[in-house]
Amino acid sequence: MNPFHAKGLSLVLATDAASRAVMRWSGKDKKHEADHDAVEAMRVSLDSMPMAMRVLIGEGEKDQAPMLFAGERLGTGKTGDPELDLVVDPLECTTNFSRGLHDSMSVLLAAPSGSIPAIPGTYMTQILLPPSPAADYFASRPAADSIDPGIKNILGIVSKHNGINVSDMLVVVQDRPRHAEIIHGARSAGAGVALIESGSISAAAEILLRPNGRWTLLHGTYGAPEGLILAYMARVTGGYFAGRISPHHPLFAEQARELGLDDQTLPASEWIVADGCLCLTGIHGNTFLRGVMRKGQGLVTESLLWTADGVEKIVHENGVQMQRADAVF
């Protein structure tokens, strides 16, 4: 049994707690209040667990965030050397949540200490494909070859190796001015474009879990921490991911240089160098994960636990595990 499966069954209690804690703010345009409650609930849960954990990427630096700040030690074993590094987003898709819309989740990635690089809190240019011959082709090439050719050439490569027409492809892109060239290039090549307001993690999950579904690939510049989540998801499902830090400020450009990440396009295996676990708990539902549901006076959550063993669906009622099963999509 993968040791991270057992750890994941404990860690998913933290995303479950965060998801239940925020529901009183659903659709009330109270982003800060919701984020505070999610952070506090996740932190309390993690700090009670018999592990030694360190927040690698969380709510900001220590002087900016009172809880779940970068470097914070958590767990009852926190006085020793950390065994796990964490990337946490207690309330992902905060804007959607505050508007009562879909796709919000609580997210936690854990991996052995030192297996996830520290990264600047900036953007990352990313590409993600489901398991496929095209994914295998890109994996055999330098990672930059999957981003640098431009969207028209990328679509041509996918068409050649997957045996589908470009006109039958649908590219997921965040609806931002910085993606105008990708959007125009994909459409002028004959492909469709699925414009998302936010929720790159949700989009990536659907692409990877439904490789023959409606979406062909995800491309564009998204948050760098989210890129680490996508890299792990691709790692455990056999999909393809590559990312390159794209600083939006000179300060972050300097940090990238100091970390040796400037102009480096890396595949998933170099962003996450060891097996770990990823916990996703639905808050407002999406196409693969139900949101928090009311049952009498209590709350029921649905989570996905991603490990090298596969993806498992777990149901909790008021923080108590009720069901476990291999996820089927």
Q: How big is the chain, counted in residues?
A: 329
Q: Which CATH number belongs to the domain containing residue 311 in this structure?
A: 3.30.540.10
Q: Which of 255, 271, 287 is the last residue of a domain?
A: 271
Distance from C-alpha of 224 to C-alpha of 247, rounded to nearest angstrom: 9
Largest separation between any pair of C-alpha atoms in the chain: 57
Spatial CA neighbour of 215 closest among 233, 203, 225, 200 = 203
Distance from C-alpha of 284 to C-alpha of 174, rounded to nearest angstrom: 19
pLDDT at 138: 98
Q: Which CATH number belongs to the domain containing residue 255 in this structure?
A: 3.40.190.90
Examine the domain organization and report whether 41 and 16 are in the same domain: yes
Distance from C-alpha of 174 to C-alpha of 126, rounded to nearest angstrom: 11
SS3 250: helix
Instruction: Tell me the average confidence (pLDDT) per consecutive run of 10 residues in the chain, 329 residues long.
Output: 89 98 97 95 97 91 73 88 92 94 96 94 96 98 96 98 98 97 98 94 95 95 96 97 95 92 95 96 93 94 96 94 79
pLDDT at 325: 81
Examine the domain organization and report whether 307 and 260 are in the same domain: no
Distance from C-alpha of 237 to C-alpha of 102, rounded to nearest angstrom: 24
Examine the domain organization and report whether 172 and 260 are in the same domain: yes
Examine the domain organization and report whether 263 and 300 are in the same domain: no
Residue 305 near residue 109, CB atoms below 8 Å: no
Residue 223 near residue 87, CB atoms below 8 Å: no
Examine the domain organization and report whether 51 and 155 are in the same domain: no
Distance from C-alpha of 3 to C-alpha of 251, rounded to nearest angstrom: 39
Please state the pTM of the whole predicted model: 0.95
User: With the CA atoms of 161, 328, 11 and 319 taken in that order, what torsion angle do they form, in degrees rounded to the nearest 10?
Assistant: 150
Helices (H), 51-130: 94-98
Distance from C-alpha of 106 to C-alpha of 20, rounded to nearest angstrom: 10
Examine the domain organization and report whether 184 and 102 are in the same domain: no
Examine the domain organization and report whether 196 and 224 are in the same domain: yes
Number of domains composing the chain: 2
To the nearest 5 percent, what fractions of the chain are helix, strand and coil? Answer: 35, 30, 35
Which residues, at least 6 apart from 8, have a Cβ–Cβ distance to it below 8 Å?
110, 277, 278, 279, 305, 306, 307
Residue 250 near residue 256, CB atoms below 8 Å: no
Examine the domain organization and report whether 140 and 106 are in the same domain: no
Examine the domain organization and report whether 176 and 153 are in the same domain: yes
Pairing verdict, β 277-282 and 105-112: antiparallel
DSSP per-residue codes, 60-120:
S-TTT-SSS-TT-EESTTTTS--SEEEEEEEEESHHHHHTT-S--EEEEEEEETTSS----
Residue 296 near residue 281, CB atoms below 8 Å: no
pLDDT at 204: 96
Q: Which of 251, 271, 291 is the last residue of a domain?
A: 271
Examine the domain organization and report whether 150 and 168 are in the same domain: yes
Tell me the pLDDT tens digit for each residue of 114-142: 999 999 989 999 999 999 999 999 999 99
Examine the domain organization and report whether 67 and 189 are in the same domain: no
Domain housing 87:
3-114+276-326
pLDDT at 79: 77
Examine the domain organization and report whether 260 and 294 are in the same domain: no
pLDDT at 62: 56
Q: Which of 271, 296, 312 is the last residue of a domain?
A: 271
pLDDT at 65: 61
SS3 259: coil
